[in-house]
Amino acid sequence: MDPLATTEDAEMLWTVAAAVVMVIGLAGIIVPVIPGLVLILAVAVVYGLMVGFSTLGWIVLAVMGAIVAASFVKGLIIPKRTSEASGASGWAQLGALIGAVIGFFLIPVVGVIVGALAGVLGTEFLLKKDLSAAWTATKGMAKGFGFSVLIDLVLGLIMIATWSIWAWQVV
């Protein structure tokens, strides 16, 4: 048995496995149970550990790391701005955070989203005693979350495409 063929087979196996888990990471962007972009980055790190890091591999990891960092910043800025533009207070944003944590534990799969939106609605209603204003703030937060998810999907696809350049060199 040729040891080189075994190495090539192993690299191909790792490449296919990494691609599959990265696609699962994309699904995690939509359904916030799996940390999508972080999972994609983690898979790339494991991939490098298994097949070896070339110069290109290190560059790809740096680009992917920068994308994940940018996504974290975006995740803080966009929902905050859209909710503020729709009249949500800082307290409502805190209510969204608390609601997201509670929702995560109470409702499988979609609890983070449902909890965050319920947190905004409840907090704004308690503060303003106006259901219409609270609903407007909630819709603004939902719009921000939706836009944020779309951006993360694009970023995830960019990360996978970037990794694919490295994987193409490996196999």
Q: What is the pLDDT of residues 50-97, one digit of tens each?
A: 999 899 999 999 999 999 999 988 887 887 788 778 888 888 888 988
pLDDT of residue 3: 52
Q: How confident is the model at residue 8 (pLDDT cuts 50, 70, 90)?
A: confident
Q: What is the pTM of this model?
A: 0.80
Write down the domain spans for the chain: 3-170
- Between CA 46 and CA 53, with CA 52 as vertex, the angle to 5 degrees is 90
Helix, strand, coil share (%) of the chain residues, nearest 5: 90, 0, 10
The span from the CA of 14 to the CA of 44, in Å, is 10
* pLDDT of 1 strictly over 80: no
Nearest 5°: the CA angle 166, 147, 32 is: 70
pLDDT in tens, 30-54: 877 778 999 999 999 999 999 998 9
Instruction: Identify the three-state secondary structure at position 108.
Output: coil
Cβ atoms 37, 29 nearer than 8 A: yes
Structure confidence at residue 66 (pLDDT)? 97
Other residues' Cβ atoms within 10 Å of the Cβ of residue 38 = 14
DSSP state of 87: T
Q: Quick one: pLDDT at residue 123?
A: 94
pLDDT at 146: 87
> What one-letter code names the amino acid at 155?
L
Q: Are 13 and 133 in contact (CB under 8 A)?
A: no
| Predicted local distance difference test score (pLDDT) of residue 63 | 97
